[in-house]
Amino acid sequence: MIIREFQPSDYAPALVLWSDADGVELAEGDSESSILLYLARNPGLSKVAVREGNLIGAVLCGHDGRRGFIYHLAVKREERGHGVGKRLVQKCLEDLKREKIERVVILVDRENKDGLRFWTTGNWEEISRAIPFGIDL
């Protein structure tokens, strides 16, 4: 397995992966044009895992100069439990650290038991006093 930068050509297979992953909510900001713009604004930070030419994992990663953000971590069902997600996140964190980012934030659906287990075993802390808000423009 190799971990490499998310390329524009990875969008279609990543979309299939995200669509199949419990807890990954696809929304209006996940169109191909929006994701390509995100990749351009955060060059080299988003990653994919590839085995024998097939995309088996993907994650979006970026920052605003102050905080890092990780979105849409997903691993193909049959590849879960083998450290693929952990390696993708580790690579994102290494790259964010190189960018001088000191804090990284994620959003996890409260109903996503596998996702909650993954993030809590990775020493991520729940920010219980924060309530996420959003607005569609």
Domains and CATH numbers, the chain: 2-121 (3.40.630.30)
The runs of H, that is alpha helices, within 23-62 are 32-41
Q: Give the mean pLDDT of 38-46.
A: 97
Q: Distance (Å, rounded) from C-alpha 54 to C-alpha 91? A: 19
Q: Tell me how crowded residue 76 is: count the other CB atoms within 10 A of its CB.
A: 19
pLDDT in tens, 51-80: 999 999 999 999 999 999 999 999 999 999
Do residues 107 and 67 lie in contact, with contact meaning Cβ atoms separated by under 8 Å?
no
pLDDT in tens, 101-113: 999 999 988 888 8
Tell me the backbone φ, ψ of residue 54, rounded to 5 degrees: -110, 135
Q: Would you say the pTM of this structure is higher than 0.85?
A: yes
Do residues 23 and 111 lie in contact, with contact meaning Cβ atoms separated by under 8 Å?
yes
Statement: residue 136 has pLDDT above 90? no
